[in-house]
A and B are shown apart, each in its own frame.
Chain A
Amino acid sequence: MTEQIPIVIIVLPLIAAFLQPLMAFFSFKTRDAMIIALLLAVNVMLFYLIPPIALAGKTMYYTLGAADPRSFTPQGLDFPIRIVLKIDAFSLFTGIIVGIVTITTFLFSAGCVKNEESKKYFTTLFLLFTSGLLGMSFTNDLFNFFVFLEIASISGAALVAYDRRSKHSPYAAYKYILISTIATTFFLFGVALCYAQYGSFNIQYIHSVLKYSYLDKIALIFILLAMAMKAGAVPMHFWVPDTYSEAPAPVSAMLKVSGMVSLCAMFKFAFTLFGPSANGTGVNYQTLGWIIIVLGVLSMFIGVTMALIQHDVRRLMAFHAVSQTGYMLLGVGVGIAVMGGGESTAFKTFGKIAITGGIFHIMNNAFYKNLLFLTSGVMERRFGTRNLNSMIGMGHGDTLTTVVFMIGALAIAGIPPFNGFDSKLMIYESVYKFSPTLAIIAIFVSVMTLASFMKVFYSAFMGPGRDDLIVDKEPLTVTASTGLIVLAILIVAAGLFPGLVIDYIVQPAVEALTGIR
């Protein structure tokens, strides 16, 4: 039974998405309950896979359409000819992020999106988006990855324009789909260059016969550039503030996760597709590491300086999303550069910690950024605007929102009892040993992050309660509050027991990614 789980995880949301018109027989409440149960089942299956895969350090294959799905090459050939899903600790890690964020976001949106006839389209697109992201994390086939990327992009763009009353949302959605299509076309061009040489789409097979010719170098640039574009790293970040700020709050949270999955995919391609293969040919890790470090430092610094001057709460958070992406790029980039340096003691003492910190930060960032985007949705709904200058005194009415916003804001700034602190400390310590200047920039950016979130907290939550400014007094529903509370608990728990999370999920993921135990 265990061997069928990978495909069930991807297919369940896909089937449920297209069953939505049929489910119109039931009331909205029943539909929401059914989808929450389905997403819970996906999460349970993901966690069920942790002991046999992450803890045992094994890799599980699922060959679609084969008599025995567990074998990599069921036909007895020495190369794979079918689509293969590969579940190792790293793809499981990505899947768990998607699973947790999806269920909390859906809990919030079930209570927040108005129960009108078009809600079934929202649910359909949401489930398609989930299915695309889970597929992107699990697949081991380049073309299949492209298809899942397109599923996620198209449903994401349609979700951005979901609120049709808003003036700017169609243009924001247009920007998102334009950037996504450019990125996917670049990606497909890179895939075609790989196919031209090796005649296969299977990542593992291409890696085992990689020649690293000029064509491979061009393919590397096309593929990594496309993924960085989708993740919103700095030279390609211009779409992030517009799209994230115009989308409905739950959708911004989902777009953020899609960025995280693209970032994970970028690291996966850098290591398992173009990394040095068995015959020793592959990308030069030192060069690649420094390119990723430069992207990361630029993202961190430009993101946070742009965020400081914003008056729109969503744009502010969107620029912080860019800046936080920089931390992950910095951590993993330093690790890659140390690996390329060739000193195994240096890698053991701080290179591995840098990669672990960067990967751990992806998870932490997905949780607190999700929480912050959801609370910004509550703020926007209360005051009917996103402008911070016309918000005041929200702390009087919404105690829960205030508390969870504080948790999220302190976590993003890296204050001790919350999860942002653990991963940021790992990044600072290891990066300091590599290059003190980079660590100082990272700490400085963290301080500026705290400053800009204090601005949001003071202007929106503190001050006298002004009932005349509040447009929508309706309290949060139980489901919406549950979503917020679950995320807040996860943030505090990961902050208090970082060792557990690292040992069970993050460390195996890093080992599976780099191939070094």
Chain B
Amino acid sequence: MLANILYITVLFLFLLSLMAIIYKRNLIKLVIALNIAESSVNLFFIVLAYKPESMAPIFTLAPAIEDLRMVLPAPQALILTNIVIGFATTALMLVLAVMTYGKNQTLDVRRLKGVEEHD
């Protein structure tokens, strides 16, 4: 149980964000929900790569080959990419939410009613 606490956290965060995406109606809160989902996936990658009592994967710090214990470098590079991508999507979504508010004076999806009532 205690060994799996991190995986349980990942699952909890993912389900929490899904619940928020389904039940929240404010455009800004949806952005927050997506950020939580992203964080849960990032945390999942970190947990996968982590090995207890191991070193950062830096070539010059590498110990002798017999006690070589390093964390996996690939997932760390990947989540750095994912954090940057998440930043881009968050920024774009917030800009679009602000523009939506400017044109419709509301952020509530129930009052935005889709886009069918044009001209």
On A, residues with C-beta under 8 Å from B are: 143, 147, 150, 153-154, 157-158, 161, 164, 167-168, 170-174, 177-178, 180-182, 185, 188-189, 192, 195-196, 199, 201, 242, 245-246, 312, 315, 385-387
Contacts and interface: CB of A to CB of B under 8 A. Distances in A.
A171 B104 contact: yes
Contacts of A387: 119
B115 interface: yes
A506 to B, nearest CB: 34
Nearest to B102: A170
B54 interface: no
A387 B118 CA distance: 9
B16 interface: no
Interface string B60-97: 00000000000010110010011001001100110011
Contact of B118 (A164, A167, A178, A185): A167
Give the size category of B's interface with A. Answer: 35 or more
B115 A174 contact: no
Given A168-B115, A387-B119, A185 B38 contact: yes
Contact of A178 (B30, B102, B103): B30
A315 B115 CA distance: 10
A253 to B, nearest CB: 19
B48 A195 contact: yes
Nearest to B91: A154
Contacts of B44: 189, 192
Contacts of A158: 92
A246 B116 CA distance: 10
Contact of B21 (A154, A180, A182, A196): A182
B93 A242 contact: no
Contact of B81 (A147, A315, A386): A147
Smallest CB-CB A-B distances: 10 pairs: A170-B99, A168-B115, A174-B96, A170-B100, A171-B100, A185-B37, A150-B85, A242-B115, A170-B96, A192-B44
B59 to A, nearest CB: 15
Contacts of A173: 96
A167 B89 contact: no
A245 B92 contact: no
A407 to B, nearest CB: 28
B97 to A, nearest CB: 6
A245 B102 CA distance: 21
B34 interface: yes
A203 to B, nearest CB: 16
Contacts of B114: 242
B97 A174 contact: yes
22 contacts: A143-B81, A147-B81, A147-B85, A161-B96, A170-B100, A171-B100, A172-B115, A174-B93, A177-B93, A181-B34, A182-B21, A182-B37, A185-B38, A188-B41, A188-B82, A189-B14, A192-B48, A196-B48, A201-B74, A242-B114, A385-B119, A387-B119
